[in-house]
A = this chain, B = another copy of it.
Amino acid sequence: MKDKRPSSGDFTVGVDIGGTTIKAAAVSADGAVSHETVIPSRAEEGPEAVLTQATEAVRRVMGGRRSGGGRCAGVGIGIPGIVSANDGLVRYPPNFTGWSEVDVSGELSRRTGEKVLTENDANAAALGEARFGAGVEHPDFIFVIWGTGVGGGLILDGKIFRGPGGGAGEIGHVTIDRGGPPCNCGNSGCVEAYIGQKYLSQRTAKLISGPGARYPGSVMTELVEGDLSRLDPEVISRAAERGDEAATRVLTDAGAMLGVALASVVNVVDIPTAVIGGGVSAAPAFVFNAAADEMRSRVLRPHRGAVAVKRALLGNRAGVVGAASLLL
């Protein structure tokens, strides 16, 4: 590959390997996405199953796209876990069975015959947003993936800040209350332990149902047809858009709690812009405003005027576009 930037007919395959699905697509140099494919992930069957699936997904996308005359410039992979900069080893992706360290780039390169680059999925999504999304106007930003968990990445001067070991950007595990509830990570009081999907849903359920419920008439009960296990950020967002008090309350508080964590990050890395992606990025604007207000009230004085919280622009394509961006 002599040209680093593929010409307009060229494309890169972006693969977003998750615990639930593996998504892949062809991405051209201008960020246009085509030939998307999504398959249920067999992460519980161990690395070999996942590598086989990813290889199959790449082949499927390449086959489809090549029939249109394009040239593949390589494959970018986004995957959970810490990906080391030196050797590209993927270490301990959470919710993947039987992984310790796997050379994902090496294995997929051998199987597909393509150049392969691998990056932590949140970092890759952040890069996608930097190249083709909210980052076009912001060379430096804190990226947050707010959904099941709260992940993130730091973009500095348009590039991923990986930290010396490749594990930087874990915004979800910034402590906002040292005496707070336990987090999945083993710490207590992480912002994820307040605003991750499970915790948000639990909090919402308590507010709308059962003894002591403060908002028993919430529209959410109707939206989930009485099945509170179906309360997720999407339902809560929809209810908030319809003016539901409980939903508004939960999301405003959650935005503010994210703002507490972000303020700490701003004071440490001096990046006053946050871009929010993931499932909750579809939430109403007041959630972003709540986060920004809280940040503004907490960051050091010189940062206050610059604080901004933006919605990510790539939606659920951030993963594949970001992975593909690794080679652009």
Which A residues are closer than 8 A to B by beta carbons?
A: 82, 91-92, 139-140, 154, 156-157, 161-171, 173-179, 185-188, 257, 260-261, 263-265, 267-272, 297-303, 306
Which of chain B's residues has its CB closest to A164's CB?
B140
**Neighbour of A303 across the interface among B167, B169, B267, CB < 8 A:** B167
Q: How far is the CA of A96 from the CA of B272 in the complex (A)?
A: 25
A168 and B302 within 8 A (CB): no
Max chain B C-beta neighbours (<10 A), residue from A166, A170, A299:
A170
A164 and B174 within 8 A (CB): no
A164 and B263 within 8 A (CB): no
Q: Report the minimal beta-carbon distance from A275 to chain B, rounded to whole angstroms.
A: 15
B257 and A185 within 8 A (CB): no
Q: How far is the CA of A297 from the CA of B92 in the complex (A)?
A: 18
Q: How far is the CA of A157 from the CA of B164 in the complex (A)?
A: 8
Q: 18 A–B contact pairs at CB < 8 A?
A: A91-B302, A154-B268, A162-B270, A163-B269, A165-B302, A166-B270, A168-B268, A171-B268, A173-B267, A174-B264, A176-B177, A177-B177, A177-B178, A178-B260, A185-B301, A186-B298, A187-B263, A265-B268
Q: Report the minimal beta-carbon distance from A121 to chain B, rounded to whole angstroms.
A: 15
**Neighbour of A301 across the interface among B92, B154, B177, CB < 8 A:** B92
- Chain B residues positioned under 8 Å from A82 (CB to CB): 302
Q: How far is the CA of A300 from the CA of B92 in the complex (A)?
A: 12
B165 and A270 within 8 A (CB): yes
- Chain B residues positioned under 8 Å from A164 (CB to CB): 139-140, 156-157, 270-271
Q: Report the minimal beta-carbon distance from A68 to chain B, rounded to whole angstroms.
A: 40
Which of chain B's residues has its CB closest to A141's CB?
B164
Q: Report the minimal beta-carbon distance from A96 to chain B, rounded to whole angstroms.
A: 14
- Chain B residues positioned under 8 Å from A263 (CB to CB): 175, 187
Q: How far is the CA of A265 from the CA of B270 in the complex (A)?
A: 13
Which of chain B's residues has its CB closest to A163's CB?
B270
Which of chain B's residues has its CB closest to A142's CB?
B268
Q: Report the minimal beta-carbon distance from A157 to chain B, rounded to whole angstroms.
A: 8
B300 and A268 within 8 A (CB): no
Which of chain B's residues has its CB closest to A256's CB?
B178
- Chain B residues positioned under 8 Å from A170 (CB to CB): 267-268, 300
Which of chain B's residues has its CB closest to A92's CB?
B302
Q: How far is the CA of A170 from the CA of B271 in the complex (A)?
A: 12
Q: How far is the CA of A178 from the CA of B259 in the complex (A)?
A: 10
